[in-house]
Amino acid sequence: MKIFIGLLISALFALTILFSSPTKAENQGFGEGSFTEYEAYIHPAQELGPATGSQAKGYGRIRFARNLSSGHVDVQMAGINPANMTAFHIHCGTPDVLGPIVVNFGQFGDFKNTVVNGHFSASITNDKLTFVKQPLPPPSLSSAPTLPLPEGCPSDLNIPVQVNTIAGMEALARKGVLYFNVHTKGNEFYGEMRGQIYKVEKY
């Protein structure tokens, strides 16, 4: 009897999903209306270069649709003048590592127009990810960091296959190997502030 009641409840639940509002059912059932979320506290102390004395700070959040078709980025910054921003990226790399670029936010327009009252927002899809056909060779261990950083991020840090999809990007986020980096005049190479991205903790 208990088994029959359990099956009946399951059937009723399935019918509710099927015959409820089509848009709501599709969005929830197909992963477009539910999300996984990641965040970063962005600060100059996370940068590898010499201390700059910068008072900048920021908070960033990435929300990936559960079907991994897209991601949405929101970043709030303080102490940064958009007119002084020379680049703004998501890189892949562990803390204390300079990693290649996954998303270049410069593609969305001039920072004087896209950073409004310290806030930046953008939606990213597969076509917005950085991919290069001929990555630069890695610099030798003895060389100074003068070569430009390679673009295109490996989908797994142990396997040199570049990320092509939001799914690959989210997999790196799950491992904690993505970070925001804000570059400004005078801080073009390392950046002025940086923030490692981790899954949002539920309190």
Q: Count Cα neighbours of 203 within 13 Å in the Cβ-side half-sphere.
A: 0
The whole domain housing 181 covers 31-133+150-199
Q: Are residues 16 and 112 in the same domain?
A: no
Q: What's the pLDDT score for residue 147?
A: 40
Q: Do 12 and 48 belong together in one domain?
A: no
> What integer pLDDT is reported at residue 19 of this predicted model?
45
Which pLDDT band holds residue 86 (cuts at 50, 70, 90)? very high
The predicted pLDDT at position 148 comes to: 44
Distances (CA, A) of 119 to 40, 73, 77, 80: 14, 10, 6, 11
* Alpha helices by DSSP H, 20-165: 22-29, 111-114
Whether 135 has a pLDDT exceeding 80, the answer reads no
Claim to verify: residue 38 and residue 4 sit in the same structural domain = no
- Are 50 and 12 in a shared domain? no
Q: What is the pTM of this model?
A: 0.77
For residue 142, is it within any domain? no
Establish if 144 belongs to a structural domain.
Answer: no
**Buried-exposed string 153-176: b where 16+ CB fall within 10 A, e elsewhere:** bbbeeeeeebbeebebbbebbeee
Q: Quick: pLDDT tens for 27-45.
A: 566 877 788 999 999 999 9
Q: Tell me the helices (H) and strands (E) count for the chain, helix number first.
A: 4, 10
Please check whether residues 62 and 98 belong to one and the same domain: yes
Distances (CA, A) of 66 to 35, 86, 92, 120, 158: 5, 33, 21, 23, 25
Q: Within this chain, do residues 11 and 108 fall inside the same structural domain, yes or no?
A: no
Rounded CA-CA distance 30/27 in Å is 6
Torsion of CA 65, 161, 99, 91, to 10 degrees: -20
Task: Say whether both 3 and 53 belong to one domain.
Answer: no
First to last CA, the chain: 39
CATH classification at residue 94: 2.60.40
Least confident range from 76-80, 140-144, 155-159, 180-184: namely: 140-144
Same domain, residue pair 92 and 58 = yes
**CA atoms lying within 13 Å on the CB side of residue 109:** 8
Distance CA 187, CA 181 (A): 11
pLDDT for 32: 77
pLDDT at 18 over 60: no
Please, how many CA atoms are within 13 Å of residue 50, restricted to the half-sphere of its CB?
2
| Judgement on whether residues 37 and 79 belong to the same structural domain of the protein | yes
Give me the mean pLDDT over the 60-87 stretch: 97
